[in-house]
Structure 1
Amino acid sequence: MCGIAGIFHLETAKPVDPARIRLMTDAMLHRGPDGNGCWTAPGVGLGHLRLSIIDLEGGAQPMLSADEADVLTFNGEIYNFQEVRAELSAMGHQFRTSGDTEVILAAWRQWGVGCLDRLNGMFAFALFDHRQQRLFMARDRLGVKPLHYAILPDGSVIFASELKGLLAHPALRRAPDLQAVDDYLAFGYVPDHRCFVGGVKKLPAGHYLMLERGKPLPEPVRYWDVDFSRRARGSVADLQAELLHHMRQAVASRMVADVPLGAFLSGGVDSSTVVALMAERSTQAVKTCSIGFDVAALDESDYARRIAGRFATDHRSRTVSPDDIAIIDYVAAQFDEPFADASMLPTFRVCQLARESVTVALSGDGADEALAGYRRHVFHHGEERVRSLLPQGLRGPVFGALGALYPKADWAPRPLRAKSTLLSLARTGAEGYADAVGVTDYGARQALYSDSHRTALGGYRGEDHMIALMNAAPARSGLDAAQYADMKLWLPGDILTKVDRTSMAVSLEAREPLLDYRLIEFSASLPESLRVRGGQGKWLMKRAMRGTLPDDILYRPKMGFVSPIAQWFRGPLAEQARRIASGSALARSGWFNTVRLSEVAEAHIAGRSDNARLLWQLWMLDKALERVF
């Protein structure tokens, strides 16, 4: 796990100042405390920060091929590098090191762009080919590792693992992307097709970019996609065995490291599954860690201790107060762009705890997206069954009218909160799901915006990209399309961004075995009834783990990391909520109706309504504005 940065002159091979490369890498020193490197040649410069995991002595970067024709800077891990290395050795390639970096160089030499089909891992890399005077940049299939890039006024392209690496370059123009602001308010994060800074792009997951001297900046090329349109055949027992095989292989491949390795353990299904499979393979006690809270409704530590005891792990737990206000500024700054997932705070804390004893930690992220584990997937699956029974021409007027009449009752038990379901059923499946995963809906955003900002947006609506993505998805059903959209937007934009930034902030490598692309491809082919059944998501995975994990772990309600933001904005952050409407960078932006912002803050502080998520979004946006512009 590392950080990378670089400069490539598209037009002519002008000299690259190594000091510029070092400025960019210095902005990301947390990503690689074990070493740094800089390499330049006419028209190109590559920088690297190293967190040593494999081949501790021989893996320094940027790495040159033996004939110095190719140079690579690489962030991530290639889990099957030993198999690829053996294949390349049989073809006559010779290796000077024992790690995965040199394998990428040899794979490029042997297969060119086709090398990406051979690599199983999490990665973002840039490889300069001296002979062709081109720079090849690629990102892993699911987007575990980030890569940002931008073209400068002089025609050069700069790239870096994090936005702060680009911001360190003095020639980058800083102006906010107003559409990205709307995307952020819609979803709580800036998705990968946008960036908070106008002109900056994120290389999409499963894509590569080939920069060639003398040619204009091209569009990224997709080399992998997940296909939900196929259906696996076989008995439930056979498919269950195949799923378990994929999970075992994925965990085993991610246990290779030359440094201490462990796992996050929340006591939920996914992390418990990873720990169980690690314990099955390990000859030593697996190192696990968990965070407990001093609020019973938020605390999962008892479940984590039970799993730790069941598999005899070397377990460490720490109880922290969810009132982690003191670290908000530091953690928010790791994201550069506005990021409103409040679970970033406890995620940072568990990464801190893990780093005290290990350098690599396996997580359970990815199973919910792959196997329909979110409650919204179960609801959407049910709604799609209703939609299939009634045509849109009938559903729209009937459910729309019922939804308009039904009282809004966020305080009521879930079965009585039917307003959102009725309104969702009045829409198409894609429109309903886009609303379900949203944070601040289109109408609420329009009410918040100033007249000038609404005019500048010109009718732009963040949800439209997700709706188009679902409508064009390689899918057979609405559930397929919803999961596909989650993998393209939510997974890289929220979940993986959160884990990457919080783990890298403490120089910890996080690995996600349940995002192995072979496991993802298999899971996407499962019939819907093996993903959602009886009101339960991840049905086949839970069935596969029965007997290994206790039923009360497998079937208990999903909790997740939570921060008490509603209480914060009525207590220690009440004045901060008021400041959002006056005196903040947000208020000065001219994007918002400050009278309306004040009403939102006062209504929440007085307890007349719960506007905590919106206030948190606005506060994180304000902090990003102060940092970046």
Structure 2
Amino acid sequence: MCGIAGIFHCGTIKPVDPARVERMTDALAHRGPDGSGVWTAPGVGLGHRRLSIIDIAGSPQPMQSAHSPATIVFNGEIYNYRELRKELGAGGATFRTDGDTEVILAAYARWGVDCLPRLHGMFAFALYDSDKRQLLLARDRLGVKPLFMAPLSDGSLAFASELKGLLAHPLLRREVDPLAVEDYLAWGYVPDHRSILSGVEKLPAGHYRLLRHDSPPAAPIRWWDISFAERRKGSVADLEAELLHHLREAVTSRLVSDVPLGAFLSGGVDSSSVVALMAEASREPVRTCSIGFDVAAHDETAYADEIARLFDTNHRKRTVSADQFDAIDDLAAMFDEPFADASALPTWRVCQLARETVTVALSGDGADEAFAGYRRQVFHAHEEQARRWIPGSVRRSLLGPLGAAYPKADWAPRPLRLKTTLLSLAGSGAEGYASALSTTPQDLRQSLYSADFARGIAGYRAEDRLVEVMQRAPARSGLDRAQYADLMFWLPGDILTKVDRTSMAVSLEAREPLLDHRLLEFAATLPESVRIRGRQGKWLLKKAMRRYLPEDILYRPKQGFVTPIAEWLCGPLAGEAQAIASSAALARTGWLDSRKVAGIAEAHIAGKSDHSRLLWQLIMLDRSLRKLGVAT
């Protein structure tokens, strides 16, 4: 796992200052503390920071091919590199190293950009072909590894694994994109189609981009997509057996490492499944770690302890409490862009704990997206049934007005929030799911905006992009479209960003076996009846894992890795909630009505409404603005 950065001149060839590339890579030193390098040629410069995982001594970067005119900087892991190495060797390729980086170079020499579908793993890389005078930028299927890009005033395009790498370039403009603020307040993160800074882009997941010296930058090209349009046939027993095969293959392929390896263990179905399959494949006890909370209702460490005992793992745990709020500035610096998924704090803490004994850790991320494990997906599937039963005219004329008049119940469990359900049913499935996924409703966002800011975004609405993703999804049902949106929109923007930044901040490589693309492509073809039954999500996965895991792990109510922010902001952090209305950094922007923000904070502290997610978003936005030092 590593950090990459570089500069490429499009439409011209100018010298690239190696010191400038080095400054960009130095900003990414946490991603690669074990080595660094810079390579330049006319019109191009590539930089690398290395975290040594495989072939520790033998694969320094930037790496030049011995047999082709290509040079690469690469961040990630190719899990099938040994199989590819054999295939390429049979065709005449020779290798100087034992790692996966050189395999990518040989694969490109053989197949060009068509090598990408052959790479199984997580990656972002930049490969310069000096014969074609062309730079290939590529990102893995799901966007596990990030890549930021920005055109600069001197005609070059700069790229880096994190925004801070671009911020080290003196020509990068630091102006906030107001549409990104609307996106952030809707989702709690800045999604991959936008960046907090105007002019900065993220290479989309499953895309590549070709840049040439003799032409302007070309648009990204999609090289992978997932389809929910087909349905696999077979008995439940056959599907279960095939699922177990894919699960074992996904986990065992990610156990290849020349450094100590372990796993995150929350005690939920997903991480417990990964640990169970690791234990099955390992001769030595699996090293596991977990994080608990000082609020008992959110603490799952007892379940993690149960799994650790069951599989005799080498287990370690710690507790996160409200007195760790002083780490918020570290979080803001870690993410660069504002990021308000409150589970980032415990994720960072569990990464710190893991890094004390291992360099690689497997996580359980991805199963909810792949197998319909989120409560919102289950609710959506049932709402879609209701939409089929109730004519659209009735839903719009009756349920819409009824939902508008129904009182809010923010503190009630989701099934008792009838207002939300009625309003969702009144609209389309895509609109309803966008509303369920957003953290701050559109009407609440708009009520906070100043008149100038509202004019500046000119009617832009963050939910429209998610609705568009669902409408164009290769899918057969509303549940398919919801899962597609989760994989293509929510996952790279929130979950994978969180895990990448928090793990790389402590120089830890996180691997996600449940995001193996073969497993996902299989899961996308499963009949809905084995994804959801009644109110039970991930039905087939849980059935398959019954041979490994106890009933209380498989079928207890889903809790999630949720920080008790609501309780903290009513109690020990109430002062922080009150202070956000007058925060200097946020107030200077003129984006929000400070009196309305103060009212939101007071209503939350008094227990009248649950505004914890919005308040946390505003706190993180304020801290990010301070760190970025941007023009607003």
TM-score grouping bracket, smaller chain normalisation: over 0.9
Q: Residues 583 and 622 of structure 2 are in contact (CA less than 8 Å); yes or no, is this contact kept in structure 1? A: no
Q: Which residue of 1 aligns with 2:261?
A: 261
Q: Which residue of 2 aligns with 1:375?
A: 375
- 1:555-590 per-position Cα deviation (integer Å, ceiling 9, x unaligned): 111112222323333344334333322242111101
Q: Partners in 2 of 1:422 and 1:450 — Cα distance?
A: 30
1:157 matched to 2:170: no
- Distance change (3 Å), C-alpha of 1:292 and 1:91: same
Q: Which residue of 2 aligns with 1:620?
A: 620
Q: Partners in 1 of 2:314 and 2:581 — Cα distance?
A: 49
Q: Partners in 1 of 2:412 and 2:36 — Cα distance?
A: 55
1:223 is aligned with what amino acid? W
1:450 is aligned with what amino acid? S
Q: Which residue of 1 aligns with 2:471?
A: 471
Deviation (angstroms), 1:322 = 4.8
Q: Which residue of 2 aligns with 1:541?
A: 541
Which is further off, 269-278 or 565-574? 565-574
Q: Partners in 2 of 1:528 and 1:169 — Cα distance?
A: 49
- 1:159-201 per-position Cα deviation (integer Å, ceiling 9, x unaligned): 0000000011000111111111101101111100000001000
1:36 matched to 2:36: yes
1:125-524 to 2 correspondences below 5 Å: 125-524=125-524
Q: Which residue of 1 aligns with 2:531?
A: 531
1:219 is aligned with what amino acid? A
1:191 is aligned with what amino acid? P
Q: Partners in 2 of 1:564 and 1:544 — Cα distance?
A: 32
SS at match of 2:408: coil
Q: Partners in 1 of 2:265 and 2:611 — Cα distance?
A: 31
Deviation (angstroms), 1:413 = 4.8
1:23 matched to 2:30: no
Q: Residues 5 and 21 of structure 1 are in contact (CA less than 8 Å); yes or no, is this contact kept in structure 2? A: yes
Which is further off, 570-579 or 149-158? 570-579
Q: Which residue of 2 aligns with 1:86?
A: 86
Q: Partners in 1 of 2:288 and 2:259 — Cα distance?
A: 15
Deviation (angstroms), 1:313 = 1.2
1:61 is aligned with what amino acid? Q
Q: Residues 240 and 540 of structure 1 are in contact (CA less than 8 Å); yes or no, is this contact kept in structure 2? A: yes
Q: Which residue of 1 aligns with 2:63?
A: 63
1:373 is aligned with what amino acid? G
Q: Partners in 1 of 2:80 and 2:94 — Cα distance?
A: 18
1:247 is aligned with what amino acid? L
Q: Partners in 2 of 1:581 and 1:405 — Cα distance?
A: 29
Q: Partners in 1 of 2:270 and 2:203 — Cα distance?
A: 28
SS at match of 1:217: coil
- 1:420-456 per-position Cα deviation (integer Å, ceiling 9, x unaligned): 1111100100000000011111111111001111111
1:559 matched to 2:580: no
Q: Residues 322 and 568 of structure 2 are in contact (CA less than 8 Å); yes or no, is this contact kept in structure 1? A: no
Q: Which residue of 1 aligns with 2:4?
A: 4
Q: Partners in 2 of 1:413 and 1:292 — Cα distance?
A: 23
1:77 matched to 2:109: no
Which is further off, 161-170 or 308-317? 308-317
Q: Partners in 1 of 2:184 and 2:242 — Cα distance?
A: 38
SS at match of 2:289: strand
Deviation (angstroms), 1:595 = 2.0
Q: Residues 322 and 346 of structure 1 are in contact (CA less than 8 Å); yes or no, is this contact kept in structure 2? A: no
2:280 is aligned with what amino acid? E
- 1:582-612 per-position Cα deviation (integer Å, ceiling 9, x unaligned): 2421111011122212222232233333222
Percent identical among aligned pairs is: 67
- 1:207-242 per-position Cα deviation (integer Å, ceiling 9, x unaligned): 000001111111100000010111111111111111
Long gaps (5+) in structure 2: none
1:504 is aligned with what amino acid? M
SS at match of 1:386: helix
Q: Which residue of 2 aligns with 1:97?
A: 97
Q: Partners in 2 of 1:188 and 1:149 — Cα distance?
A: 22
Q: Partners in 1 of 2:362 and 2:93 — Cα distance?
A: 32
Which is further off, 187-196 or 393-402? 393-402
1:78 is aligned with what amino acid? I
Q: Partners in 1 of 2:89 and 2:248 — Cα distance?
A: 27
2:461 is aligned with what amino acid? R
Which is further off, 66-75 or 531-540? 66-75
Q: Partners in 2 of 1:387 and 1:603 — Cα distance?
A: 35
- Distance change (3 Å), C-alpha of 1:302 and 1:130: same
Q: What is the TM-score normalised by the length of structure 2?
A: 0.98
Q: Residues 266 and 561 of structure 2 are in contact (CA less than 8 Å); yes or no, is this contact kept in structure 1? A: no
Q: Partners in 2 of 1:374 and 1:323 — Cα distance?
A: 30
- 1:263-295 per-position Cα deviation (integer Å, ceiling 9, x unaligned): 011110000100111111111111111112333
Q: Partners in 2 of 1:236 and 1:458 — Cα distance?
A: 51
Q: Partners in 2 of 1:614 and 1:95 — Cα distance?
A: 53
Deviation (angstroms), 1:483 = 0.5
1:595 matched to 2:595: yes
Q: Residues 322 and 572 of structure 2 are in contact (CA less than 8 Å); yes or no, is this contact kept in structure 1? A: no
Q: Partners in 1 of 2:583 and 2:446 — Cα distance?
A: 22
- 1:87-132 per-position Cα deviation (integer Å, ceiling 9, x unaligned): 0000000000000000000000000000001100000000000001
- Distance change (3 Å), C-alpha of 1:580 and 1:415: closer
Q: Partners in 2 of 1:311 and 1:572 — Cα distance?
A: 38
Q: Partners in 2 of 1:583 and 1:112 — Cα distance?
A: 52
- 1:337-365 per-position Cα deviation (integer Å, ceiling 9, x unaligned): 01010000010110011001100000000
1:472 is aligned with what amino acid? R
Q: Partners in 1 of 2:618 and 2:292 — Cα distance?
A: 28
- Distance change (3 Å), C-alpha of 1:195 and 1:414: closer
Q: Residues 434 and 467 of structure 1 are in contact (CA less than 8 Å); yes or no, is this contact kept in structure 2? A: yes
Deviation (angstroms), 1:511 = 0.1
RMSD of aligned Cα (Å):
1.2
1:225 is aligned with what amino acid? D
- Distance change (3 Å), C-alpha of 1:271 and 1:249: same
Deviation (angstroms), 1:477 = 0.3
1:250 is aligned with what amino acid? A
Q: Partners in 1 of 2:241 and 2:606 — Cα distance?
A: 55
1:20 is aligned with what amino acid? R
- Distance change (3 Å), C-alpha of 1:67 and 1:90: closer
Deviation (angstroms), 1:311 = 1.1
Q: Partners in 1 of 2:6 and 2:122 — Cα distance?
A: 19
Q: Residues 351 and 503 of structure 1 are in contact (CA less than 8 Å); yes or no, is this contact kept in structure 2? A: yes
Q: Residues 323 and 563 of structure 1 are in contact (CA less than 8 Å); yes or no, is this contact kept in structure 2? A: no
Q: Partners in 2 of 1:21 and 1:351 — Cα distance?
A: 29
Q: Residues 542 and 554 of structure 2 are in contact (CA less than 8 Å); yes or no, is this contact kept in structure 1? A: yes
How many positions carry a matched residue from both structures? 629
- 1:122-160 per-position Cα deviation (integer Å, ceiling 9, x unaligned): 000000000010000100000000000010011100000
1:98 is aligned with what amino acid? D
Deviation (angstroms), 1:414 = 4.4
Q: Residues 411 and 609 of structure 2 are in contact (CA less than 8 Å); yes or no, is this contact kept in structure 1? A: no
Q: Partners in 2 of 1:322 and 1:552 — Cα distance?
A: 29
